[in-house]
Structure 1
Amino acid sequence: MSVDEMMIPFKGRSGLKQYVPKIPCKWGYKVWAPAGILGYVYCFEIYYGGVNVDDSKNAGVGGEVVKRLCHDIAGRNYKIYADNYFSNIQLLLDLRDKQIWYVGTIRFDRLQGLYKLLKSKKEMKSLGRGATNVMTSSKGLTVVQWYDNALVHTISTYAGIYPQDTDKRFSKKQIKHIQIGRPFAIKTYNDHMGGVDLMDFL
C-alpha cells in the first residue's frame, strides 16, 4: 500500500478546509490515506491543521500519520510505500517492530549519521545517469542512492539494489532515448506509489 495525501474538493465554510496551491484541487479537505495499486483507499484520516504533541515526538508528524493508518495491519507482513514527507529512520524501525515493511524516498537531512557513509551529490553526478550506491546500517536499514536527472535517496527495511533492471530516459546530450540502470528499491517504489493518485482520477 502507498500512503499519500489527497484532497476532497470543498469551497464552503469549514474550519477543516485547507488551501494547497501546488495541486489542481486547491481548496478542500486534506486527508491522509493508504491505497492499493488499483486505487482502492482502505481508510483515511482528515488533516485538521494540528497534531498532538505526544504523537509527534518520535517519528515526526508524517511518520506518526503512517503509523496510525497502519495500526490494523500490524503483524501481517504488509509493505508500505511513501514519499519523503513521511519517511524517517524512527518510522521504519517502529513499523518493522510490527512486521510492516517499508520503502520510501527520504530527505538527506533525515538520514542522521548515515549520510557520512554515502557519496556526495557531486560524486554521484560524476558517475553519470543510472549511477547507484548502497549502504546498510547496523540497524538493518538500507539506503540506496540513485542518480537520474537528480540524486534520489530511498530507505527501506527490505529493498536494496538487486535485482536491477533498466529504464528508458531521454538524453539531451545524445538526442535520443537511452537505457539506464535502475535499482530494485526505485523500481518497486515507482510501481506502488500511484494508488492515491489513481483514486483521484476515479
Structure 2
Amino acid sequence: MSIDEQMLPYFGRHSGKMYMHGKPVKFGYKLWIVASHTGYPFHMMLYSGKEKDKSPGDLLGTRVIFELLHPIREPLSHTVTFDNFFTSYDVLVKLQEKGFAALGTVRHNRLRGSPLPIATDVK
C-alpha cells in the first residue's frame, strides 16, 4: 500500500482550494490517499488546512498515516510505503507496534540519532 498526496484540479472560487508551487496541478483540492500497488485507492481524506484540536507532539504526516490506515483490519498482510514527508523514526516505531511493515525515504533531521548510515555520495 502506498500513502501520498494528490491534487484534484479545481479553478473556481472556494476557500478550500489550494495552490502548490512546482506541482503539475497547481490549483485544486489536496487529497491524502492510500492506494494498492496497482493504484486502486482504498481510502482518501480531503486536506482542509491546519487543525486546531491536534495533539501537539504529532506531525501532520503521522496523523495522516494513522487516519488512512485506521480501516485496515489485517496489518500483517500489508506493507506501507511513503515518501520523506511522512517518514520519521517515531512513525516507523508506531507502525511496527501496530503490526505494519513500512518502507520510506527519510530526511536526515528525522532520524533522532538512529545509527543509520547516511549516503553522501550516490552514483
TM above 0.5, one fold? Answer: yes
* Cα distance, 1:76 vs structure 2: 2.9
1:118 deviation in Å? Answer: 4.4
Partner of 2:95: 95
The answer on 1:27 being equivalent to 2:19 is no
Query: Structure 1 residues 12 and 27 mapped into 2: Cα distance closer, same or farther (>3 Å)?
Result: same
1:42 alignment counterpart: 42
Alpha-carbon deviation of 1:80? 0.4
Cross-structure match for 1:71: 70
Equivalents in 1 of 2:52, 2:74: separation in Å?
A: 26
Distance 1:86 1:75 in 2: 21
1:57 CA drift (Å): 1.5
Runs of 4+ more than 2 Å apart: 51-56, 117-121
Q: Is contact 1:3–1:35 with CA below 8 Å preserved after alignment?
A: yes
Distance 1:13-1:73 versus aligned 2 partners, 3 A rule: same
Matches of 2:99 and 2:118 in 1, distance apart? 32
Aligned CA-pair RMSD: 1.8
Corresponding residue for residue 12 of structure 2: 12
Once the two structures are TM-superposed, the CA of residue 52 in structure 1 deviates from its matched residue by 4.3
Deviations 1:86-139 (A, max 9, x none): 01111111111211110000000100111xx34455xx52xxxxxxxxxxxxxx
Count of residues in Structure 1 that have an aligned counterpart in Structure 2: 122
Q: CA deviation at 1:55?
A: 3.8
Pick the structure with more helix per residue. Answer: 1
Q: Larger radius of gyration, structure 1 or 2?
A: 1
Displacement of 1:75 after TM fit? Answer: 4.1
Q: Whole-Å Cα distance in 2 between the matches of residues 62 and 48 of structure 1?
A: 14
| 8 Å Cα contact 1:87-1:104 kept in structure 2 | yes
Quick one: distance in 2 between partners of 1:100 and 1:112? 21
**Percent of pairs identical after alignment?**
32
- Which amino acid in the other structure matches residue 36 of structure 1? S
* Runs (5+) with no aligned partner, structure 1: 126-146, 149-202
Distance 1:22 1:81 in 2: 23
Q: Report the TM-score, using the length of structure 1 for normalisation.
A: 0.56
